[in-house]
Amino acid sequence: MKKTYILKSHYPKNNSPIIKAMIELHGQKLKLDYEIIGNLSQYNFPKPTKQQRANELWRDTCFELFIANTSQESYHEMNISPSIQWNCYHFNAYKEDMKESTLILAPTIKTTQNDQSYKLSVETTIQEEFFHEILEINLAVILLDTDNTRHFYTLKKRDGVPDFHDREGFLNISQ
């Protein structure tokens, strides 16, 4: 299964970048590609450092995947920073009982940037077998600008404050 989406800005403005997100699942192999197109000079993209788990990556520019089995309340959240730091969390229900997850093996993260495009690619292996069920996902991006304002992009724009954890914003996908 391979699907590509255009993420929607929660607070669109005239010069908002276009953000494409692609998810590919084959067995237990997961690939994510994010591409941001537009004038990127106003956004912060942390330089790559040592690839390792880290917390609170959402405080800066961050790429996210939420994934769940439709028959369960629990879900996983994966965060990837342009710094190539990452983490994966498990929640028993909506924002409840967050703990680091062993859902994925340490991913391979690659980034490229020029004046009008930023790309982040992630490849990893999923450790659980729930992919034989119908899945729900949410793909999201938080862009931090040079004024320290966060810009939120996701699959479904919803009224109110952006909430990537809300399962109403997830899409059903199938392999």
Q: What is the pTM of this model?
A: 0.94
Q: Are 111 and 119 in contact (CB under 8 A)?
A: yes
Q: What is the pLDDT of residues 104-143, one digit of tens each?
A: 888 999 999 988 999 999 999 987 665 556 689 999 999 9
- Residue-wise DSSP of 146-173: TTS-EEEEESS--SSS--TT-GGG-EEE
Domain holding 110, by residue range, is 2-173
Q: How confident is the model at residue 103 (pLDDT cuts 50, 70, 90)?
A: confident
Query: H or E stretch including 89?
Result: strand 86-91
Task: Please give the tally of structural domains in the chain.
Answer: 1
Tokens standing for residue 60: 């800066």
Q: What percent of the chain has pLDDT over 70?
A: 95
Residue 125 · residue 28 · CB < 8 Å: yes
pLDDT tens digits, one per residue of 29-45 = 999 999 999 989 999 99
Spatial contact of 28 and 127, defined as CB atoms under 8 Å apart: yes
CATH number reported for the structural domain that contains residue 99 in this entry: 2.60.40.1190
pLDDT at 70: 86
Give Cα separations from 86 to 65, 70, 105, 108 (angstroms): 11, 25, 11, 10
